[in-house]
């Protein structure tokens, strides 16, 4: 089968990779469409030390199991289901887990992927395949209200005008909280303005310490220091950024202002699917490029060198 591999030699597109063999409780999924995200860019810079088939945002058709013949999306954490952490309902933090295209598990930039059946969610007919590919990052955005109670009285600032920043702002707005987005790119901010979400260019940001909560979606080591400049004392900073390397920052401001820092990662797929089905969020305007799987190296170069939002890789025709 065809696949996009990353190893010590770099990224490559290959056409002779063996089709995955399903383990117990896994099913084979024929990938239709996959999305390139910031984590993929960090992985090829050394994040997590991953080698294998890249890709974790996807829509496919299940070949076997209870969803056979139906479109599905898949949660990326493959947990053991039997350890103490899993029994406590914290399967996404299973110490034995693998993660699609990120940690010890081949990903979705390929014709086929093997994935635990328990990870799959059926895509309702009302959701287009192009919209469904946003399920994973949208679920990550919905993890914020799953972790932190939001209210209409809150002032929330999202740092970063990229894919995840856009989705987080849309999700936070559903709670009634006042949300604004700070970014570097007028084109991306204009998309948010069209949705009625306030925006501000980073160069014009004033450190007025008015935010009850700041969400760092910058994908940059500079995100947390910037958040500290605008968060209220005893406010909450939500970290969505993961970067290769070791960011340097003094933690004294967090102690002095008694700031709560919350790491936030994967979220509820069922809520994300529901939001797409009921048109609670808009995702299609985020798509900038659609390329075939064979052009994956070009896709990575575009994502690395331009201010693009979402790049989709067409793997197999529906």
User: Residue 234's pLDDT band (boundaries 50, 70, 90)?
Assistant: very high
pLDDT at residue 318 tops 70: no
Higher-pLDDT residue of 37, 2? 2
Cα 16 → chain centroid: 29
The percent of the chain in helix, strand and coil, each rounded to the nearest 5, is 30, 30, 40
163 shares a domain with 92 = no
What pLDDT, on the 0 to 100 scale, is given for residue 244? 64
20-29, 37-46, 190-199: segment of lowest average pLDDT: 37-46
Query: What CATH number did the domain enclosing 130 receive?
Result: 3.90.180.10
**Residue 55 covered by a domain:** yes
- Residues 31 and 111 grouped into a single domain: yes
Number of CB atoms found within 10 A of residue 224's CB: 21
The verdict on 92 and 145 lying in the same domain is: no
Helical spans, DSSP H, in 32-185: 38-43, 84-87, 129-132, 135-147, 163-173
Q: pLDDT class for 30, splitting at 50, 70, 90?
A: very high
Q: Is residue 154 pLDDT above 80, yes or no?
A: yes
pLDDT digits (tens, 9 = 90+) for 101-126: 999 999 999 999 999 999 999 999 99
> Residue 143 maps to which CATH number?
3.40.50.720
Q: Which residue has the tokens 């890709």?
A: 55
Same domain, 8 and 120: yes
- 71 — phi, psi (to 5°)? -70, 140
Between CA 178 and CA 143 the distance in angstroms is 18
Return the minimum-mean-pLDDT range out of 43-47, 98-102, 144-148, 179-183. Answer: 43-47
Which stretch of 38-42, 54-58, 186-190 has the lowest confidence by average pLDDT? 38-42
Domain count of the fold of the chain: 2
Q: At residue 293, does pLDDT exceed 90?
A: yes
Give the phi and the psi of residue 105 in degrees, each rounded to 5.
Answer: -155, 125
Residue 101 falls inside a structural domain: yes
pLDDT at 241: 84
Region 69-88: what's the mean pLDDT?
Answer: 96
- Going by pLDDT thresholds of 50, 70 and 90, the confidence category of residue 78 is very high
What's the domain range around 116?
A: 3-134+283-314
């Amino acid at each position: 089968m065809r696949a996009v591999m990353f190893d010590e030699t770099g990224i490559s597109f290959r056409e002779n990779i063996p089709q995955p063999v399903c383990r117990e409780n896994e099913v084979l999924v024929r990938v239709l469409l996959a999305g390139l995200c910031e984590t993929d860019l960090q992985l090829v810079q050394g994040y997590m030390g991953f080698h294998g088939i890249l890709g974790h945002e996807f829509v496919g058709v299940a070949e076997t199991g209870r969803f056979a013949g139906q479109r599905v999306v898949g949660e990326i954490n493959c947990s053991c289901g039997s350890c103490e952490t899993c029994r406590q309902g914290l399967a996404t933090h299973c110490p034995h887990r693998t993660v699609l295209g990120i940690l010890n598990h081949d990903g979705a930039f390929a014709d086929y992927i093997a994935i635990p059946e328990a990870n799959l969610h059926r895509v309702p007919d009302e959701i287009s395949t192009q919209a469904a590919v946003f399920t994973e990052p949208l679920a990550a955005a919905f993890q914020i209200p799953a972790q932190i109670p939001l209210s209409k009285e809150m002032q929330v600032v999202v740092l970063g005008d990229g894919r995840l920043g856009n989705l987080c702002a849309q999700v936070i707005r559903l709670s009634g909280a006042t949300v604004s987005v700070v970014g570097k790119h007028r084109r991306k901010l204009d998309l948010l303005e069209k949705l009625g979400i306030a925006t501000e260019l980073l160069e014009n940001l004033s450190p007025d310490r008015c935010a009850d909560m700041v969400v760092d979606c910058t994908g940059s080591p500079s995100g947390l220091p910037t958040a500290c400049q605008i968060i209220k004392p005893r406010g909450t900073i939500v970290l969505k950024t993961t970067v290769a390397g070791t960011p340097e920052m003094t933690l004294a401001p967090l102690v002095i202002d008694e700031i709560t820092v919350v790491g936030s990662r994967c979220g509820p797929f069922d809520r994300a699917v529901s939001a797409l089905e009921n048109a609670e969020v808009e995702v299609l305007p985020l798509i900038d490029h659609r390329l075939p799987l064979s052009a994956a190296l070009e896709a990575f170069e575009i994502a690395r060198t331009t201010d693009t939002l979402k790049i989709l890789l067409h793997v197999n025709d529906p």
